[in-house]
A and B are shown apart, each in its own frame.
Chain A
Amino acid sequence: MRFVLRRLGFFLLTLWAALTLNFALPRLMPGNPAVAMIAKFKGGVSPQALHTLEVQFGVNTRHSVISQYFSYLKDVATGNFGTSLSEYPASVGHIIMQAIFWTLGLVGLTTVLAFIFGTLIGIVGAWRRGGVLDSVMPPVFVITSVVPYFWLGLVLILIFGVKLHWLPYINSYSYTDTPGFTLSFIWDVIQHAILPAFTLLITTIGTWILTMRNTMITTLADDYVRMARAKGLSSRRIMFDYAARNAILPNLTGFAMSLGFVLGGAILVEYVFNYQGVGFWLLAAVNNDDYPLMQALFLLITVAVLVAILLSDIATAILDPRTRDAG
C-alpha cells in the first residue's frame, strides 16, 4: 500500500537522522570517555593505560570521522554497542537485553492495560453520562493522575511492604529464587510486579479516562450516532462501532507515543522499587558516566518512539479511511 510505504520511507529517514545525531553528539562534547574514566582515578593512570582505554573505547584513534561513522553504523546494525564502563566488562548489549525484558513486562503491560481500561471506562462513562460510573471514576482518577508516582510508590511500599509485609518491593524477583520458567518463579515475578504496576496504572489511567470520555461525549452528539439510533442498531453497536470507533482516533497517537516511551522505562518507579529495567539502568549510566550504555539507551528510546509512531500511523490508516487517501 502506498501510504504504508511512504510512512516507512519517512521512518527510515528519521531513523537515519537519529542515528547520525547519536553518533555526532558525544563527539561534539568536550573530553572523551577515556579521560572521564581516568579522572575517576584522580590522575593515577599512566599515559599507556590511557592509550589502552582510548583504543578500547575507539576514541582518539587515527580513523577518520567518516570511517568511524560507518563502523558505528555497522555496530548498531549488528547490535554491538561496546562495553559498559560501570558494569565493566559486561557488554552494553547484554545489559540492555535484560533490562528491556523487565521494562517491557512491567511498564509495557501497564501502559497497555491503563489504555484499555481507561478507554473502556471513558466510553461507558460518556455513554451513561452523569451515571454512577461517570460521577465516581473520572474525579477519582483525575486526582490519582496528578499524584507524583514515585511518591505513591513510596507510600505503597510503606503500607504494603514495610508495615503489612504483604508484598515484596525490591527488585523484580527474590534474590533467593533461581530465574527460570517455573511456576514458583513466575509467581514470584508477578508478586514483585504488583506494587510498581499498580503505582503506574493508577497514575496513568486518569488521562486515558478523561480524554476518551471527552472525545466520546463530542462524538455522541454527532449526527451519525443519532442516525445509528434511528436505524435501530443495538446500544452496544452504537456505543462501540459508531461512537467509540470514531472517538478513539485522536487518542491513538497519544497511546503510541506513550508506548514508545515505555522503553525509556519509568525511571522513578524503577528506581524506587529497585526494578532493574531500562529506566533503572539509564539513571545508573548517568550517575556513573557510563557513556556507551547511555548512548545505547538513548538510541533505544529514540528508535522505540519512532517505531511506535510508525505503528500508530498504520493503525490510524486501518481505522480511519480518511487518512489513507490524504497520506
Chain B
Amino acid sequence: MQPASPSGRQQKSAPPLVRTQEDAPRQRTGTVLDVRDLSVEYVTEGGSVLAVDQVNFSLDSGEFVAVVGESGCGKSTMLFAVAQLLAPPARVTSGSVMFRGRNLVGLTDKSLIAIRWKDLSVVMQSAMNALNPVKSIGAQFKDAMRAHGVRSNAEIGDRSAEVLKMVGIDPVHLKSYPHQLSGGMRQRSMIAMALLFTPELVIMDEPTSALDVVAQRSLMVQIKELQEQFGFAVIFVTHDMSLVSHFSDRLMVMYAGQVAEVGATRQLFDSPRHPYTEGLMEAFPSIRGPKVPLTGIGGSPPNLAKRVGGCWFAPRCAKVLDRCATERPPLYQVEGTQVRCFRHDGNVA
C-alpha cells in the first residue's frame, strides 16, 4: 500500500491520497525503469544528429539516479525520450523504455495518458516557462487531476493544498499566477504538482538551475525528504556534479550522447575512472578541502552531427592512448561501475 501522507510537519490528518481502484495495490519494490539501447536522433534536412547513443540503465524503486554532463551532451534529450515527450524533429530510433514491464516506446498518446503523471511525472528545467503563465497554480493542478478522472472539486482542492504544504508553500498560492511567485516558489510548486498522484518515478530536468545556491541546497534537501517519505524513484539531470554528490544513490556521467561512466555516487566521487569524470571533479571547488587551482576540461564538446572514428572524448582527453583515435571504446565493468575508456580494458589498466 501507499505510504501514509506526510506525518511529521502536518498537524491535521491529511485527506486520503487520490487513488482509483485499479492502481490501489502498488508495488514499491523491484525495477521501476529499464532503459535498453535507447537512441534518439534529431532528423533534419542537413542530415540526422545522434543525440542519445545506445544508453542503458535501470532504476530500482525509490532510487535516486543523477545524470550529469555538459550542456548538449544529450542528457535532457535522453530524459524526454524516457518520458516520451520528444517532439519532432527528435525521435527514438532504437531501444526500449520499460516502465514497470511496459514498453513506453511506440505507445500512442492515448495509452500514455494513463501512465503520465499518475505513475511518471516530470519537473522541468525552468519553472518560469514550464508553468502556464495565464493559469493560476491551482487551475494547473486541477487540470492534471481532472485529466486523470478526479472530478470532485473538494477532493482536488484538498489534495492541491496538501501537496503545496508538503513543499512548504502556503495553500493561498493556489490562487496565485506563476509570475506572482518567486523562482524558488515556482520550482517548489512544480514539484508539488509532480507529486499530486505520488507517482513511482519523478523525472527532474535541472530543477535547480535557475536558483541561487542557497535555494538550490534547500530545494535538494526537500526533494530528498519527500523522496524518502513517499518512496518515489528520481532521475535527476544536472550539469552540477557537486549538487547531487550528497543526494544521489547512483551517478551517470554522459558525454556526447553516450554513457561515459556509471556507478554508485560515492564510488565515482572517490575514484573516478573515466578521464572525463575526473575532469568534471576538478571543475568545481571543494568547500572544506585545500585550495587548488580549478583545471576543468580543455576544449569543447564535440559536434554530434560530425561523428568521427575513435573515442569521442579523445580530442580533449589528458590520458589519451593511441587506439583512442581509431577505436570506439565499449563500456567496461570495473568493480561495480561501468566505464567507457580503453584504460580499463584489462590488458592496459
Are B117 and A227 interface neighbours, CB within 8 A? no
21 contacts between A and B (CB under 8 A): A221-B87, A223-B126, A224-B130, A224-B133, A226-B124, A226-B130, A227-B122, A227-B132, A229-B85, A230-B85, A230-B116, A230-B117, A230-B121, A231-B147, A232-B117, A234-B147, A237-B147, A320-B133, A321-B180, A322-B177, A325-B180
The size of the chain A interface, using a CB distance under 8 A, is 25
Pick the residue among A226, A228, A249, A320 that contacts B87 (CB under 8 A).
A226
A242 at the interface (CB under 8 A from B): yes
The answer for the CA separation of A249 and B132 in the assembled complex, in Å, is 13
Which of A226, A231, A235, A245 gathers most chain B CB within 10 Å?
A231
Are B132 and A228 interface neighbours, CB within 8 A? yes
Are B129 and A232 interface neighbours, CB within 8 A? no
A50 at the interface (CB under 8 A from B): no
Which stretch in B52-60, B106-114, B296-304 binds the other chain? B106-114
A313 CB → nearest B CB, Å: 16
Pick the residue among A221, A223, A235, A237 that contacts B124 (CB under 8 A).
A223
Contacts of A229 in B (CB 8 A): 85, 116
In this complex, the interface size class of chain B, counting residues with CB under 8 Å from chain A, is: 20 to 34
A134 CB → nearest B CB, Å: 13
Contacts of B180 in A (CB 8 A): 321, 325
A214 at the interface (CB under 8 A from B): no
Contacts of B115 in A (CB 8 A): 232
Are B117 and A231 interface neighbours, CB within 8 A? yes
Pick the residue among A221, A222, A226, A235 that contacts B85 (CB under 8 A).
A226
A2 CB → nearest B CB, Å: 16
Interface string of B146-182 (1 = CB under 8 A from A): 0110000000000000000000000000000101100
Contacts of B125 in A (CB 8 A): 223
Contacts of B80 in A (CB 8 A): 226
Q: Which residue of B lies closest to A321 (CB)?
A: B177
The answer for the CA separation of A263 and B145 in the assembled complex, in Å, is 46
Are B134 and A246 interface neighbours, CB within 8 A? yes
Contacts of A322 in B (CB 8 A): 133-134, 177, 179
Are B85 and A233 interface neighbours, CB within 8 A? no
Q: Which residue of B lies closest to A220 (CB)?
A: B87
A252 at the interface (CB under 8 A from B): no
Pick the residue among A223, A232, A245 that contacts B134 (CB under 8 A).
A245
The answer for the CA separation of A221 and B83 in the assembled complex, in Å, is 17
Contacts of A242 in B (CB 8 A): 132
A319 at the interface (CB under 8 A from B): yes
B237 at the interface (CB under 8 A from A): no
Interface string of A232-252 (1 = CB under 8 A from B): 111101000110011001000
Are B116 and A231 interface neighbours, CB within 8 A? yes
Interface string of B316-332 (1 = CB under 8 A from A): 00000000000000000
Are B130 and A223 interface neighbours, CB within 8 A? yes
A6 CB → nearest B CB, Å: 19
Known: A227-B122, A231-B144. 20 other contacts (CB 8 A): A224-B132, A226-B85, A226-B124, A227-B131, A227-B132, A228-B143, A229-B85, A230-B85, A230-B121, A231-B116, A231-B143, A232-B112, A232-B144, A232-B147, A233-B144, A237-B147, A321-B133, A322-B133, A325-B179, A325-B180
Contacts of A226 in B (CB 8 A): 80, 85, 87, 124, 130
B273 at the interface (CB under 8 A from A): no
Q: Which residue of A lies closest to B121 (CB)?
A: A230
Are A241 and B131 interface neighbours, CB within 8 A? no
Contacts of B132 in A (CB 8 A): 224, 227-228, 241-242, 245-246
Pick the residue among A223, A241, A320, A325 that contacts B129 (CB under 8 A).
A223
B138 CB → nearest A CB, Å: 13
Are A321 and B179 interface neighbours, CB within 8 A? yes
The answer for the CA separation of A212 and B214 in the assembled complex, in Å, is 42
A221 CB → nearest B CB, Å: 8
Are A230 and B122 interface neighbours, CB within 8 A? yes
B159 CB → nearest A CB, Å: 14
Are B129 and A224 interface neighbours, CB within 8 A? yes
Pick the residue among A233, A245, A321 that contacts B147 (CB under 8 A).
A233
Q: Which residue of B lies closest to A318 (CB)?
A: B134
Contacts known (A233-B143, A235-B109); A321 close to B134, Cβ less than 8 A: yes
The answer for the CA separation of A13 and B115 in the assembled complex, in Å, is 56
Are B85 and A232 interface neighbours, CB within 8 A? no
